[in-house]
Amino acid sequence: MKVVPQLFMVNALGENVDYSNYGYRNKNCYLLISSDDCEDCYFGNYLWNSKNCMDCLYVTNSQVCYELTDSHNCYHCFYSDELENCNDCFFSYDLKGCQNCVGCIGLRHKSYCWFNEQLLEEGFKAKLKDLNANDPSHWVSKLKERKGDVFHRSTTTVNCEDCLGDHIKDCKNAKFCFDSYGLEDSKFIVNGPGQIKNCYDFCGAKELEASYQGISTGGPGINLLFNNHAWSGCANVIYGSFNVASQYLFGCAGVRHKKYCILNKQYSKEVYEELAPKIIEHMSASGEWGEFFPIRFAFFHYNETLANDLFPLDKEAVLKRGWKFREEEGVKGAPVQERVKKCADCGKNYKMIDHELHFYQNEGLAQPEKCPDCRHKIRMNKRNPYKLWKRQCGKCGTEILSTYASQRPEKICCQQCYLSGTY
């Protein structure tokens, strides 16, 4: 893996996306990660089919949105979470089919509401003067306070049958899965955007079947075991890395359109079928078989990876485990250019780009005082972890599993009680 040249970034069919990674068919995007079919999107993670969105996380089919998290089919929505089919909603949470709402929680198909109070259009527009007169942090804090007064659903599952997880949709018999849809008979899947069946333990998978343990795998794929990136029709690949459209590989890296290879060496079908079982037998005896690539093979330092987003560790904790930690190299001190600012949190300098400045100006927004990395951390911290705890529904007393930890103060209710209270 360390001998074969690696892709410096993963971008397919993109245009003007030099500083983005893990993207497909994106155009004019900057620092956009793990996103597909987006245009003019910046500083975001996990965006799909969206346009002119900035500082967003897990957003699909949306346009002209800012600081939006876990939302779908939205237009011109700012500083909000868990919105669906909404327009012109600000500082709100858990809205569906709403427009022209500010500071609202749990509304369905409402318009011109101010902190859940129904107003006439004229009264609502008069209130908007207050919105522009205060710093966004004032309204963010106010929304956070109000969240403590309402019941939260234990997990977000939509059209799912016999499933456990959070933010999953259209799934059947999917257990401990998160941020995925279209799963069937699968377990431990994270970021799986569709057509996954009979799979176990993946982060980033699509159009995948009968496979075990992998990262960024599928599109399509079948019978893939222990793979770090296997794309475009790979099948029957065991312990592979960055292979494309290949079948019957064992221990290969960077192979394209090949069959019956071991450690990147070509064999005949007969010899491959003779050697592969012997390798598995040897790995089983040494205790290696069945384990994913050990962390010592990682190309990146721990604090550069998605793992640090989900399971943050400080330098001491990382080094204690024998893992690599990257020292901060960002320039600190007084900015020397007009478009360079100093982050209010970490002190690192960061640059403002043209599209970003135009977006703030057009929408009447103040320029952020924190760097993109620190803004991303704030959005990640608003989401619950990929873990389930035993809780009791605060309304009916039923025992449930929830991504809200037992010691957290939020009031939690089961799916049935949540639906009865909002519809």
**What is the tens place of the pLDDT at every residue in 46-60?**
999 999 999 999 999
Omega within 30 of 0 (cis) for the link into 368: no
CA dihedral (376, 381, 53, 370) positive or negative: negative
Rounded Cα distance, 415 and 379, in Å = 25
How does pLDDT run across 367-385, given as a tens digit for each residue?
Answer: 999 999 999 999 999 999 9
State how far the alpha carbon of 233 is from the alpha carbons of 24, 268, 310, in Å.
16, 20, 30
Burial of 157 (0-12, 13-18, 19+ CB in 10 A): buried
**Positions of the chain with pLDDT lower than 70, given as ranges:** 133-134, 329-338, 423
Rounded Cα distance, 343 and 369, in Å = 6
Looking at residue 298, what is its pLDDT?
86
Is residue 36 within 8 Å of 49, Cβ to Cβ?
yes
Determine how β-strand 340-342 pairs with β-strand 349-351. Answer: antiparallel
Burial of 109 (0-12, 13-18, 19+ CB in 10 A): exposed
Considering only CA atoms, which of 77, 112, 106 is closest in space to residue 93? 106
Determine how β-strand 172-175 pairs with β-strand 177-231. Answer: parallel
3-state secondary structure of 45: strand
Looking at residue 76, what is its pLDDT?
97
Hey, which residues does 215 pair with through a beta bridge?
203, 228
